[in-house]
Amino acid sequence: MTATIIDGKLLAQKLRADWKLRADRLNAAGIAPGLAVILVGEDPASKVYVRNKIKACREAGIRSEEHVLAADSPLAELVALIERLNADADIHGILVQLPLPAHLAQASVIEHISPDKDVDGLHARNLGSLLAGHPHFVPCTPAGIMEMLKTTGLDLRGKEAVVVGRSNIVGKPVALLLLQAGATVTLCHSHTRDLAHHTRRADVLVCAVGKLRMIGGEMVKSGAAVIDVGMNRTSEGKLAGDVDYGAALQRAGWITPVPGGVGPMTVAMLLGNAVLAAERYAAEQGIRLDP
């Protein structure tokens, strides 16, 4: 069996065209959807991600502003910037690019973002709403994964879903979303004994670890939907996932490539959340949008 490739780039393009229509509607009503992106330090990968997000905003009709702070900026400076943006009526979404330098505790920084502008969906209030089953903003990568699974046409109810990795950004929220979709979910992590025992019975396998090709083909159930979130560099400097793509392609029913899979979907879902934040703001202001 050769798996169907879930093309994240193509799906992201379709979604971005939808967000653009919604952003255009907001702009026509006098609300320019505004996203503020905060970058602390000079991490080269983070700089590339921020640049891509800003470019994607421009293409989608979303106004973005970039705020760059020095790597050794004190917490108080970052918090003051976040609070200023929280109070800025022209900014509907705020994103702090992660990871932050070690002296800035990620979780406590995120808690300063207004939950109504937390387009990454990582504020404890937003994660709590997700847990309670009425999400306000869904974290971007997990939301993108669910969109990709939709394209398979699989009914997730009763399916065995195995998520490898339990971060707040990917593993835990995607496990919650799969649970809400009716799957029976197993969440694996670094203390899991016999990982292959779990992955081999997964109808849906989501890998979010960050270890090059740690999921071999023999660890994939025949016909499974495999979502590879991992982003790793090979010895030749190429981008590759947590799954041995070549081997898994021969066994899985569906598979996401790296690059061109989950990555583009994460950016697309960020734009979606930014548009949603601006639409909520318009509704609060009593501004009607053309249908």
Which range of residues in 17-25, 114-122, 127-135, 190-198 is near ligand NDP by CB under 6 A?
Answer: 190-198
Which range of residues in 35-43, 128-136, 202-210, 271-279 is near ligand NDP by CB under 6 A?
Answer: 202-210
Q: Which is nearer to ligand NDP, 167 or 186 (CB)?
A: 167
Given 209, 220, 240, 277, the residue binding ligand NDP (CB under 6 A):
209
**Is the sign of the CA dihedral 151, 153, 157, 158 positive or negative?**
negative
Q: Which is nearer to ligand NDP, 20 or 166 (CB)?
A: 166
Residue corresponding to tokens 């306000």: 136
Compute the least distance from the CB of residue 123 to ligand NDP, in Å.
17
Compute the least distance from the CB of residue 26 to ligand NDP, in Å.
25
Given 148, 185, 188, 243, the residue binding ligand NDP (CB under 6 A):
188
Q: Which is nearer to ligand NDP, 32 or 212 (CB)?
A: 212
Instruction: Give residues 218-257 in contact with ligand NDP (rule: CB under 6 A).
Output: 229-232
Inter-residue contact 36 to 91 (CB < 8 Å): yes
Given 134, 157, 191, 288, the residue binding ligand NDP (CB under 6 A):
191
Assess whether 97 carries a catalytic annotation.
yes
Active-site residue among 120, 228, 242, 244? 120
Chain contacts with ligand NDP (rule: CB under 6 A): 141, 164-167, 169-171, 188-192, 195, 208-211, 229-232, 262-263, 266
